[in-house]
Amino acid sequence: MKSKTIGFVGLGLIGGSIAKAILKTYPNTRILATASRESTIETAFEERLIDNNGLLKIHQFGQCDIIFLCSPVKVNCDYLRKLKDVVKPDCIITDVGSVKGDITAVARELEMTNQFIGGHPMTGSELTGLEHSSASLLENAYYILTADSEMNANTYSQFADYIKSLGAIPIQLTPEEHDEATATVSHLPHVVAAALVNLVNDTDDDRKICKTIAAGGFKDITRIASGSPTMWQHIFLSNKDAVLKLIGDFKDELSQFENAISSSDPDEIINLWTKAKDYRDSITIPDSAHSRFFELYCDIDDKPGTLVGVLQLLANAEISVKNIDIIHNREFEPGVLRIEFYTQDALDKARTVLTHNNYYTRQRTN
């Protein structure tokens, strides 16, 4: 698929990452974009990510071979309507939303199912915005594609190959299959994470004891509660029926634990936990740049200058550090000093340097 001009509606974390991945793979591509804030477009132009220095008018998308809709679901639907009489007949329009029901319905209503392919890159971060986008965000990430039967098989195949060329792994589903699956593994977990954070916040005392001693386990399972409230408002309202059904199912699961604990039934507690452990252990975590973290834990003495000494050793070895912090709650953590790196090579090099200087280090795995 030779696409010379690509359009973007929205240039945040996902849109920006796709644009960067395109330019990395196809550096001669012309990219046009619009966004909710003109400052985003100005920044992207200054970074030479896009070719326009200002918000696009709708008719300017008529130049595009592919258009990525990277805004909230409702906004994407509105833009699809606006683009109907603007785009070329062979222009492919795709979105990146995590709900497909609403926008597929609009494509059917507009009789655009022959050129609309739903898309959902299964990647992201709790961080948002163009400033956090990365060309590597798509690498080895599942990228779900949905299309109606009216879609030309050759066109779909070419687009799937294009997505694959950006480093992602295309998976074909129907819009209905997509919404049921993502409600289960993505939308409900976000509800649970947000509800758990709100529960802890509401029950914490004036001294904020829970917040102070929150350990790695709590932070890990609630990390996704830091996502964009506006985005999740759109998602929950767009996939309302599937999410509500799963909330009911989750209540039933909680009731099983509640009954086992209230009746002091040790066998049932073991059974419930073993069932969860076995299934969780069977899930393969993709070895991809977006899903991996490069964390090294190091024990250090509580003495003046010790932390500076560690950082100096890493600086002397020309090792870049992404983040560093002191772990005060060690309940589930393997060291007192957590150092995060950008790559596995940097982590390995740092561990060698610190070990040779008599520091005890451990690497935390995914």
pLDDT at 332: 43
CA–CA distance, 23 with 253 (Å, rounded to integer): 46
pLDDT at 295: 86
CA–CA distance, 47 with 72 (Å, rounded to integer): 24
**CA distances from residue 298 to 4, 124, 197, 295, 313 in whole angstroms, order as listed:** 49, 28, 29, 10, 13
pLDDT at 14: 93
Topology annotation, domain 179-281: 6-phosphogluconate dehydrogenase C-terminal fold (1.10.3660)
Contact 5, 52 (CB under 8 A): no
pLDDT at 289: 44
**Which 3-state string (H, E, C) describes 67-100?**
EEECCCHHHHHHHHHHHCCCCCCCCEEEECCCCC
**From 36-45, 65-74, 207-216, the region with the lowest mean pLDDT:** 207-216
Q: Average pLDDT of 353-366?
A: 81
**Where exactly are the structural domains of the chain?**
5-173, 179-281, 294-363
pLDDT at 327: 66
Q: Average pLDDT of 323-352?
A: 75
Note the pLDDT tens digit of each residue in 82-114. Answer: 999 999 999 999 999 989 999 999 999 999 999
What b/e readout covers 80-95, taking b as 16+ CB neighbours within 10 angstroms? beebeebbeeebbbbb
Confidence of residue 223 (pLDDT cuts 50, 70, 90): confident
Contact 73, 83 (CB under 8 A): no
Record the tokens describing residue 89, joined without a space: 């007949």
CA–CA distance, 130 with 338 (Å, rounded to integer): 27
Confidence of residue 27 (pLDDT cuts 50, 70, 90): very high
Contact 112, 150 (CB under 8 A): no
The set of residues, in sequence order, having a beta carbon less than 8 Å from that of 153 and lying 6+ positions away, is none
Note the pLDDT tens digit of each residue in 128-145. Answer: 789 888 888 888 888 999
**From 42-51, 225-234, 325-334, the region with the lowest mean pLDDT:** 325-334
CATH number, domain 294-363: 3.30.70.260
**CA distances from residue 18 to 110, 123, 181, 268, 291 in whole angstroms, order as listed:** 26, 11, 23, 47, 16
CA–CA distance, 44 with 240 (Å, rounded to integer): 34
Q: What angle do CA 82, 9, 240 make, to 5 degrees?
A: 80
Other CB atoms within 10 A of residue 211 CB: 12
Record the tokens describing residue 25, joined without a space: 């793979």
pLDDT at 42: 95
Side chain identity, residue 239 = N
Topology annotation, domain 5-173: Rossmann fold (3.40.50)
SS3 343: coil
The set of residues, in sequence order, having a beta carbon less than 8 Å from that of 146 and lying 6+ positions away, is 100, 104, 117, 118, 119, 120, 172, 173, 174, 175, 177, 178
> Could you tell me where the DSSP H helices lie in the chain?
13-25, 38-46, 73-83, 101-109, 153-165, 175-182, 188-203, 209-213, 216-222, 229-238, 240-262, 266-281, 306-316, 344-356
pLDDT at 329: 46
SS3 295: strand
Contact 141, 290 (CB under 8 A): yes
Record the tokens describing residue 336, joined without a space: 């007192």
Q: Average pLDDT of 273-288?
A: 78
CA–CA distance, 355 with 359 (Å, rounded to integer): 5
pLDDT at 286: 52
pLDDT at 216: 65
Q: If you average pLDDT over every residue of the chain, what do you get?
A: 88
